[in-house]
Chains A and B, each alone.
Chain A
Amino acid sequence: MTGPQMEESAGFDRSIIDYIQRAAATGLYEIRGLGAKRRVPNFDDLLFLAASLSRYPLEGYRERCATKTVLGTRFATRPIELAIPITVAGMSFGALSARVKDALGRAATEVGTSTTTGDGGMTAEERASSKTLIYQCLPSRYGFDPDDVRRADAIEIVIGQGAKPGGGGMLLGQKVNPRVARMRTLPEGVDQRSASRHPDWTGPDDLVIKIKELREITDWEKPIYVKVGATRVFNDVKLAVHAGADVIVVDGMQGGTAATQTVFIEHVGIPTLAALRQAVDALEDLNMRGTVQLVISGGIRSGADVAKALAMGADAVAIGQGVLMALGCNSDTYVAGGQHVSAVEDYARLGTAPGFCHHCHTGKCPVGVTTQDAALELRLDPAVGAKRLRNYFKTVNMELTTIARACGKQDVHHLEKEDLVALTVEAAAMAGVPLAGTSWIPGRPA
Chain B
Amino acid sequence: MANLRPLLRRSEFDLAHDSLRDLNLYLHKQAAQDGVSQIEVKNPDGAHSIACGLDADLDVQIHGHVGYYVAGMNKHASVTVHGNAGPGAAENMMSGRVHIRGFASTAAGASAHGGLLIIDGDASLRCGISLKGADIVVGGSVGSFSAFMAQAGRIVICGDAEDALGDSLYEAVIYVRGRVRSLGADARFEPMTDTDRAALKALLAQSGLAHDPAEFRRVASAKSLYHWHADANQEY
Q: Which residues of A contact B (CB under 8 A)?
A: 26-28, 75, 77, 140-141, 144-147, 149-150, 172-173, 184-187, 190-191, 193-195, 199-201, 206, 209-210, 212-213, 215-221
Contacts and interface: CB of A to CB of B under 8 A. Distances in A.
B72 A217 contact: yes
A141 B126 contact: no
Contact of B1 (A26, A75, A144, A145): A75
Contacts of A194: 149
Contacts of A193: 149, 168, 225
Query: Of A206, A209, A218, which is in contact with the most chain B CB atoms at under 10 Å from its CB?
Result: A209
Contact of B170 (A186, A206, A210, A217): A186
Nearest to B231: A27
Given A185-B133, A199-B91, A219-B2, A213 B230 contact: no
B111 interface: yes
Contacts of B113: 145, 185
A77 B88 CA distance: 26
Contact of A141 (B132, B170, B171, B228): B132
B69 A209 contact: yes
Interface string B216-236: 000000000111111100000
A144 B92 CA distance: 8
B31 interface: no
What bracket does the count of chain B residues touching chain A fall in?
35 or more
Chain B contact residues, majority secondary structure: loop
Interface stretch (B21-29, B37-45, B199-207): B21-29
Given A190-B226, A195-B149, A212 B53 contact: no
B225 A216 contact: no
B68 A209 contact: yes
9 nearest CB pairs, A to B: A27-B230, A217-B53, A200-B88, A146-B73, A220-B2, A141-B111, A199-B110, A200-B110, A199-B129
Query: Of A140, A141, A187, A191, which is in contact with the most chain B CB atoms at under 10 Å from its CB?
Result: A141
Query: Of A140, A145, A200, A201, which is in contact with the most chain B CB atoms at under 10 Å from its CB?
Result: A200
30 contacts: A27-B230, A27-B231, A28-B228, A141-B111, A145-B113, A146-B55, A147-B55, A172-B228, A185-B113, A187-B226, A190-B227, A193-B225, A195-B129, A195-B130, A195-B149, A199-B126, A199-B148, A200-B69, A201-B107, A209-B48, A209-B69, A212-B48, A213-B88, A216-B21, A216-B53, A217-B49, A217-B52, A217-B53, A219-B25, A221-B2
Interface string B129-151: 11011000000000000001101
A146 B92 contact: yes
B227 A173 contact: yes
B166 interface: no
Query: Of A141, A185, A194, A221, which is in contact with the most chain B CB atoms at under 10 Å from its CB?
Result: A185
A194 B148 CA distance: 11
A43 to B, nearest CB: 36
B36 interface: no
Contacts of B67: 209
Contact of B94 (A27, A146, A185, A200): A146
A172 to B, nearest CB: 8
A147 B75 CA distance: 9
B1 A200 contact: no
Given A141-B130, A200-B87, A201-B87, A213 B48 contact: yes
A200 B111 contact: yes
Interface in B110-166: 110-111, 113, 126, 129-130, 132-133, 148-149, 151-152
B227 A187 contact: no
Contacts of B72: 213, 217
Nearest to A144: B92
A213 B226 contact: no
Contacts of B20: 216
A139 to B, nearest CB: 8
Contacts of A213: 48-49, 52, 68-69, 72, 88
Interface in B45-98: 48-49, 52-53, 55, 67-69, 72-73, 75, 87-88, 91-92, 94
Contacts of A27: 230-231
Nearest to B152: A185
Contacts of A201: 68, 87-88, 107
Contact of A215 (B1, B111, B229, B230): B1
Contacts of A200: 69, 87-88, 91-92, 106-107, 110-111, 129
A150 B52 CA distance: 13
A216 B48 CA distance: 10
A75 B126 CA distance: 32
Contacts of A146: 53, 55, 73, 75, 92, 94
A199 B68 contact: no
A195 B229 CA distance: 19
A212 B111 contact: no
Contacts of A149: 53, 73
Contact of B24 (A145, A150, A216): A216
Nearest to A217: B53
Contacts of A144: 92, 111
A177 to B, nearest CB: 16
